[in-house]
């Protein structure tokens, strides 16, 4: 929680970071309030003190003390940050409406898609600090074993990351939800391993639970997600926030693809000569088993 030496949160994202700080000493009542603010900022934005107190099951004085403990200007300061979050979401919706209107008016969906993906990639990579990048790459390169998990819409980038990592190092597993195999995959997670979890809103409950379980086992967790309010942030040592805005209701996975390729390249660079040996062996196996068609067979 905010102290005299710490600046009060100025944005909703900073508020989330404050509430998710593992060193924050929250009482049970404060934790209930924090969970409600993180889960439903839109609702809290227009609740009165009494309404929030009633919804959470605490008294009004507790709500006010909670807001003050964050360094905010009382309860109005808390609702102000939540309303700013709501305005951000409203701007996003207006952007979607504008894109759909442009499309209806004959605008090029391809042009809009390219523009959004360029912006997504630029914003995502601009937010990555050198410390986060280096720690994540080192974990992926040096951990005894790497486990990668992403389900539903995040299955594709998770599969790609696992595939690329297996090309440059040993002991990489992709965690899946095959019939009864999830617990088998998780049983192999050991202390010191690296567990990579990928999920964006709506967050996969199985991925969130698996990441929390891996963290409790002492694995070094890396999360690729979309927002500081993501439940994956509670388990991860390194978090990459991936912009996934798309020109319609479908979210874009382009930035995920760019990021996982960059991470795999970082691992290859760090492992150096070991990678060359691994790739040579891979090529020998591919040739021996005739995995790819040869140019002589092409028309």
Q: Any residues with CB less than 8 A from the CB of 134 and at least 6 apart, and which?
A: none
The C-alpha atoms of residue 232 and residue 183 are separated, in whole angstroms, by: 19
Residues 133, 182, single domain; the answer is: yes
Report pLDDT for 179: 57
Residue at 96 is within a domain: no
Mean pLDDT of 94-119: 66
Does the structure show a pLDDT above 50 at 298?
Answer: no
Mean pLDDT of 198-221: 91
Better-scored residue on pLDDT, 196 or 98: 196
Structure tokens at 264: 């795999």
Report pLDDT for 278: 67
Q: The domain that contains 38 carries what CATH number?
A: 1.10.10.10
Q: The domain that contains 242 carries what CATH number?
A: 3.40.50.10490
Residue at 247 is within a domain: yes
The C-alpha atoms of residue 130 and residue 135 are separated, in whole angstroms, by: 8
Residues 260, 141, single domain; the answer is: yes
- 191 pLDDT tier (thresholds 50, 70, 90): very high
The C-alpha atoms of residue 139 and residue 148 are separated, in whole angstroms, by: 13
Residue at 6 is within a domain: no
Mean pLDDT of 246-253: 73
- Using CA atoms, how far residue 251 sits from 86, 167, 243, 298, in Å, is 19, 28, 9, 37
Q: Please say which residue of 83, 101, 132 terminates a domain.
A: 83
Residue at 99 is within a domain: no
- pLDDT tens-digit profile of 269-296? 988 766 666 666 667 666 767 776 665 4
- pLDDT tens-digit profile of 16-57? 888 887 777 789 999 899 988 888 887 888 889 998 999 889
The C-alpha atoms of residue 256 and residue 136 are separated, in whole angstroms, by: 15
Which of 49-53, 102-106, 178-182, 194-198 has the highest average model confidence (pLDDT)?
Answer: 194-198
Residues 152, 237, single domain; the answer is: yes
Least confident of 32-36, 167-171, 186-190, 246-250: 246-250
- Spatial strand order of the sheet with 194-198 comes to 172-175, 146-150, 194-198, 220-225, 238-241
Report pLDDT for 159: 95
- 112 pLDDT tier (thresholds 50, 70, 90): confident
Residues 267, 211, single domain; the answer is: yes
Domain of residue 63, residue span: 12-83
Say whether the peptide bond before residue 266 is cis (omega within 30 degrees of 0).
no
Mean pLDDT of 139-147: 96
Q: Where are the beta strands (DSSP E) in 16-72?
A: none
Report pLDDT for 91: 53
Does the structure show a pLDDT above 50 at 299?
Answer: no
Rounded mean pLDDT of the chain? 83
Mean pLDDT of 141-163: 95
The C-alpha atoms of residue 159 and residue 141 are separated, in whole angstroms, by: 17
DSSP, residue by residue, 162-225: HHHHHHHSS-EEEE---TTTHHHHHHT--TT-EEEEE--SSPPHHHHHHHHHHHHTT-EEEEEE
The C-alpha atoms of residue 75 and residue 81 are separated, in whole angstroms, by: 10
- 4 pLDDT tier (thresholds 50, 70, 90): very low
8 Å CB contact between 21 and 68: no
Q: Phi/psi at 97 (nearest 5 deg)?
A: -60, -40
Better-scored residue on pLDDT, 97 or 155: 155
Residues 73, 152, single domain; the answer is: no
Does the structure show a pLDDT above 70 at 58?
Answer: yes
The neighbour count for residue 121, using CB atoms within 10 Å, is 18
Does the structure show a pLDDT above 70 at 132?
Answer: yes
Better-scored residue on pLDDT, 117 or 221: 221
Which helix (H) or strand (E) segment holds residue 273: the answer is helix 273-288
- 2 pLDDT tier (thresholds 50, 70, 90): low
């Amino acid at each position: 929680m905010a102290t005299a030496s710490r600046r009060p949160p100025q944005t909703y994202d900073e508020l989330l970071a404050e509430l998710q700080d593992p060193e924050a000493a929250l009482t049970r009542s404060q934790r209930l309030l924090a969970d409600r603010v993180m889960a439903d900022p839109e609702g809290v934005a227009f609740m009165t003190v009494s309404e929030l107190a009633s919804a959470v099951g605490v008294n009004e004085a507790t709500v006010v003390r909670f807001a003050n403990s964050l360094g905010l200007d009382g309860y109005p300061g808390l609702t102000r940050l939540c309303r700013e979050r709501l305005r951000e979401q409203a701007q996003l919706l207006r952007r979607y409406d504008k894109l759909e209107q442009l499309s209806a008016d004959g605008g090029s969906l391809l042009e809009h898609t390219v523009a959004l993906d360029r912006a997504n990639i630029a914003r995502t990579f601009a937010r990555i600090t050198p410390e986060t990048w280096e720690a994540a790459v080192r974990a992926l390169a040096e951990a005894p074993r790497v486990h990668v998990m992403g389900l539903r819409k995040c299955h594709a980038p998770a599969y790609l990351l696992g595939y690329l990592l297996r090309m440059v190092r040993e002991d990489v597993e992709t965690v899946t939800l095959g019939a009864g195999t999830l617990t088998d995959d998780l049983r192999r997670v050991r202390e010191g391993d690296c567990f990579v979890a990928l999920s964006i809103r709506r967050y996969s409950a199985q991925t969130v639970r698996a990441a929390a379980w891996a963290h409790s086992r002492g694995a070094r967790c890396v999360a690729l997600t979309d927002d500081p309010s993501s439940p994956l942030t509670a388990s991860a040592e390194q978090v990459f926030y991936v912009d996934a805005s798309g020109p319609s209701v479908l979210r874009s996975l382009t930035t995920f693809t760019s990021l996982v390729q960059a991470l795999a390249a970082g691992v290859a660079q760090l492992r150096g000569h070991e990678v060359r040996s691994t790739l040579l062996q891979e090529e020998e196996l591919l040739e021996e088993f005739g995995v790819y068609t040869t140019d002589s067979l092409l028309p």
